[in-house]
Structure 1
């Protein structure tokens, strides 16, 4: 299948003490068909280590408030704002007590957040899943399906890592008609060469056909796993062979220190192929 790159996504807000006072709109290439800022995160409440499904907005609400989101989308018609749920593996867990109650609470609380803040979509980012695979698929798939069918959101994505890939792949296969993008964490793998990156990308493409985005982390601790040069070289070759629909970066809080270099280079590659 021949794919043209159409999307760039940027996580933002995950780092404690972020210095962003607003969305860094200067990094948006207006020629990219879709540019997504992904707010990290809406925080789930827990009791006795069990997730309640009740979410609250936990990002910097001074920097990323209703007004700033509306202004962003008014000034940049290609921009959307997504809210991510889940988060770091040692802090947020997918661990439900009763799955029907979780689904009801999650749908209600996230609908309130999404409608209040003029959010366009949801991103599933749990890195640790303690509940059964069946409960994960039932809850997350049901959540995405309901938000989509009720027109609460227009975009839904999942963010697998190597450790939980089997859970997410079963979720994708069961609800693929509702899932628009897959932000796979390639930077969790040791990929010292572009050939190894492309080999993994092509392998995963069979699990997530047509929707798999290439992902890079600008956190300096992840450089030992995947370098900027290796990532960009691999992406260019995937674009040249019509295999890559888009790119995402995790995240703007780390990228700020380097002037958002990889964001600019990645979007240029996407635009040059349009």
Structure 2
């Protein structure tokens, strides 16, 4: 990933800065064991640019295969700041994801506008923390989908985390939403991955595989266990009737502007999955 991202404009200095960016995270609106920030970004191949979008509330629904106590709830996160959005590694990760997903046939979600050229990406910077009496769970919701076309997860760092922590399991779409990672049908597990090194990255077609993640456990019970991640939820813009339609603006962010170039993609080079 370092070589790929460097070829897309990432600088040596920004790799080091990215490792520390999660230290600036704030509390999460609904999960006590998590710290978070988010931001919305438009990837527009017509002008070969990515740009920051204005803040909007965030919502996921049971209909989108996300079953948790805060499903259907509008959540407002603290915003991603310039220390992350202006980092050239972050911008290269967005360009990398665009290059992988654009033009690839996937299982389509209802009420998304696949005639539109642009992609809407909701970026999360998340820190999961386990302390005495509070278990940190990267996916408290159990088996789920994220209501998007593609979910990409990138590891930044961990501290005091056991080698068996935070395993990601991919499940057949017939698996029951909300099942705990260890309660699932082994016959429906289609893959397993674990983020361990800086920039380890997993990309999932979100409407073709559900996923779950095991908890974060400490090596030393007297100290917190910490896991820092970047999560990229990317989908086509919504249409009327979608739960997020009212919160899907493509207006640029005025207070936190950001724009970067993305490589050209030619139609003849598109890959059919």
TM-score computed with the length of structure 2 as normaliser: 0.26
> Whose helix proportion is higher, 1 or 2?
1
> Whose strand proportion is higher, 1 or 2?
2
